[in-house]
Chain A
Amino acid sequence: MKFDFKKLFNFKKPQNELEGTEDAPAAQPAPEEPRQEAAIPEKLAEKCESCGQIVLSDEMEENLGVCPKCGHYKKLDARARIASCAENFEELFAEEAGGNPLGFPSYDEKLAALREKTGEKDAVVCGTAAIGGVRCALFSMDYRFQMGSMGHTVGEKITKLFEYAAAQRLPVVGFILSGGARMQEGIVSLMQMAKTSAAVAKHGEAGLLYIAVLTDPTTGGVSASFAFEADIIVAEKGALIGFAGPRVIEQTIRQKVPEGFQRAELLQEKGFVDLIAERKELKEKLAALLKIHSAEATA
């Protein structure tokens, strides 16, 4: 491990004499790797899930969740994603929280545990905000809630947002992250694809803009509905985007999928993505797109 552990802790004053001082031999950081790992305070530093190197949490946050060592994109939760791109966010439909429409075994407990763990009611956060000074309605999906899967609550909030945006004549920006439909809600989950699609269509028929930002991963019932119904489809660099997951495809065709398959870059090459943005330039690109669409056209 290349990380300089001593440097990290040098600025910390000992809190009492029992902790010793920097100079006291007992307080010296242990040279062996395992003991160093065990001593890392949770919020100060974190291990990159890709390269395994230790990164200061502050630095990771400033870098919008992109590892400064290897460039890996850590998933952003719904609110961190909004904060990375928008200002003056005001939440809508925050109280929306569905139940267990099919009475699926263990689903109530699962929902309760996820709500407790994430502090969110479900896998999407909706509201209004400004991006580059242009007011818009936006939604952002949360990987911590069953990898952003869509059941009634997700479908309902997104539908309400498109209806609200149509009434207020606002563009919609959607930060999409989803493994697909929520299995435990069965056919109710499938119907969300139709419900959201109809709301997207109606908003579009009113002459309003919808930009979808596809992030890693965007698959299944979400990719086969509102993710691919936007006027402009932006994909975050390297994002996995597809209908079926790679594992399902490998099982179907009984062979490995090629390198780079279903990645944002290949989708752009094949003609299904308008543009690819790095995380740090996403805000700027969205602002530019919104500005062009909100300016008065001469035609």
Chain B
Amino acid sequence: MNAYEIVLKSREKGRPTAAKYIEKIVDGFIELHGDRRFADDPAVVGGVGFLAGKPVTVIGIEKGEDTNDKLAHNFGCANPEGYRKAMRLMREAEKFHRPVLCFVDTSGAYCGIGAEERGQAEAIASSIMEMIRLKTPALSVLIGEGGSGGALGLSAADEVWITETATYSVISPEGCASILWKDSSKVAEASECLKLTANDLIELGAVDKVVPEREFSEEFFASLKGEIAAFFAEKAKIPAEELIEARYRRFRKF
């Protein structure tokens, strides 16, 4: 698959969304709503549950499955209150020494008048800054589109994993082609240049692990669940200051 085919695959209809990952990986999930300030953002789904017998906080950017579901979740484009809800849940996780697991899948944070007026930039900035200093372990898994700041807002984690045909980029290839070359037909070329595929990202150090997709079978979810549980078990042994320092170094290298 070339980069553009991977881009298309990362957006493909029928690809499992965050809700599916939560259902398959977190036991007894209880969804917690709202940012306590303005509203509940349906593009960000979060709550608490168990992972391999241990409590976990899970947050996902949810695109929705069918058309109605997509509309209900604003196509996975979060508003500021989505990031503020995520921050609130992270703080709650920190208080109770729970790790934080994020599933990231968004074409980007929502661009609209309300989003701007309620401080989209401030919300994402704060989310990155809080997550990067979180006192409990955090893992982000890129499961579809990793769209720029909107994805990074939930990806300032100890490690960032990516499934085989997911992407992570500073801008969509369409945006890049139209801004840089004033030619939206150069999307395939832009996809290559942006180095947004899992293999490119591993090489650049932007992600730590590529998860084979196995056609999103039961085995895929079971194996991912096992790996996440093992990751958190390992990180639980590390004192908070060391964890934060290691996270600092992880991002400092760029």
Q: What residues of chain A have their CB less than 8 Å away from a CB belonging to chain B?
A: 101-102, 104-105, 152, 155, 159, 181, 183-195, 197-202, 205, 219-221, 223-229, 241-244, 248-249, 252-253, 257-258, 261-262, 266, 270-272
Contacts and interface: CB of A to CB of B under 8 A. Distances in A.
A192 B149 CA distance: 11
B116 A183 contact: no
Contact of A243 (B124, B152, B196, B251): B124
Chain B interface helix/strand/loop/mixed: helix
Contacts of A271: 119
Contact of A188 (B116, B128, B176, B204): B204
Given A191-B206, A191-B254, A229 B148 contact: no
Given A189-B170, A244-B116, A249-B116, 10 more contacts: A101-B204, A181-B149, A181-B171, A194-B156, A198-B129, A220-B149, A229-B126, A252-B110, A257-B113, A270-B118
Interface in B128-177: 128-129, 132-133, 148-149, 152-153, 155-156, 168-171, 176
Contacts of A225: 124-125, 128, 149
Secondary structure type dominating chain A contacts? helix
Contacts of B122: 228, 272
Contacts of B113: 249, 253, 257-258, 261
A244 B252 contact: no
A102 B149 contact: no
B117 interface: yes
Contacts of B170: 181, 183, 185-187, 189-190, 221
Interface in B190-204: 193-196, 200-201, 204
User: What's the interface size class on B, roughly?
Assistant: 35 or more
B1 interface: no
A290 B251 CA distance: 30
A227 B248 contact: no
Contacts of A188: 204, 206, 254
A105 B124 contact: no
Nearest to B120: A243
A193 B152 contact: yes
B63 interface: no
Contacts of A258: 113
Contacts of A152: 254
Interface centre among B129, B133, B193 (most CB of A within 10 A): B129
B201 A187 contact: yes
13 contacts: A104-B193, A159-B252, A181-B170, A183-B179, A185-B170, A188-B204, A198-B133, A219-B121, A220-B149, A221-B149, A224-B109, A243-B149, A249-B116
A256 to B, nearest CB: 10
Q: Ordered nearest first, which 3 A-B pairs have the shortest CB separation? A: A244-B111, A191-B254, A223-B121
A224 B120 contact: yes
Contacts of B119: 228, 270-272
- Chain A CB within 10 Å, residue with most, of B125, B152, B200: B125
Contact of B126 (A102, A155, A228, A261): A228
B125 A190 contact: no
B132 A187 contact: no
Contacts of B128: 193-194, 197, 224-225
A194 B251 contact: yes
A97 B169 CA distance: 23
A186 B194 contact: yes
A278 B106 CA distance: 39
A262 B128 CA distance: 22
B124 A195 contact: no
B247 interface: yes
Contact of A102 (B125, B132, B156, B195): B195
B112 interface: yes
